[in-house]
């Protein structure tokens, strides 16, 4: 499956549903972004059950800003509507494959419980 272009208009729909979405925040002038692009494309071809999307930070500055993207490339992984990974830097193919495997192995009930607990703790600190 080819990667899809994500914009502020389709981003929410793409990442809010069930399944796993890998998002590459990039720009055409960024050397490491250009190096990571074929790795990301190969991973998309090798994992047709996952969604791979790209956000051009120049065209979608508002979206990049919403996610606090200050360094590119940045890889964001969302599973079942929950951000489970967000790190800047171009991953080599073996590291990306390993990350995909770890995301597949996540117990999402456990992840959601940790998110809930963290949100409760943050709420108590504000009271």
Q: Which residues are known catalytic residues?
A: 30, 33
Distance of alpha carbon 60 from alpha carbon 27, whole angstroms? 10
Label residue 89 left, alpha or beta by phi (over 0 means left) and psi (-120 to 50 means alpha).
left
H-type alpha helices, the chain = 11-16, 31-46, 61-66, 93-105, 108-126
Tokens of 116: 């809930």
How far, in Å, CA of 34 to CA of 29, rounded?
Answer: 8
């Amino acid at each position: 499956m080819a990667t899809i272009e994500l914009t502020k208009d389709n981003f929410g729909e793409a990442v809010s549903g069930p399944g796993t979405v890998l998002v590459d925040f990039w720009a055409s002038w960024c050397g490491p972004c250009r190096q990571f692009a074929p790795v990301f494309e190969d991973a998309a071809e090798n994992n047709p059950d996952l969604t791979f999307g790209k956000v051009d930070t120049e065209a979608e500055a508002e979206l990049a800003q919403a996610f606090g993207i200050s360094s590119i490339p940045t890889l964001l992984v969302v599973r079942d509507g929950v951000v489970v990974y967000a790190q800047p830097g171009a991953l080599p193919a073996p590291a990306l494959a390993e990350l995909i495997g770890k995301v597949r192995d996540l117990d999402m009930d456990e992840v959601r419980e940790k998110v809930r607990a963290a949100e409760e703790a943050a709420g108590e600190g504000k009271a």
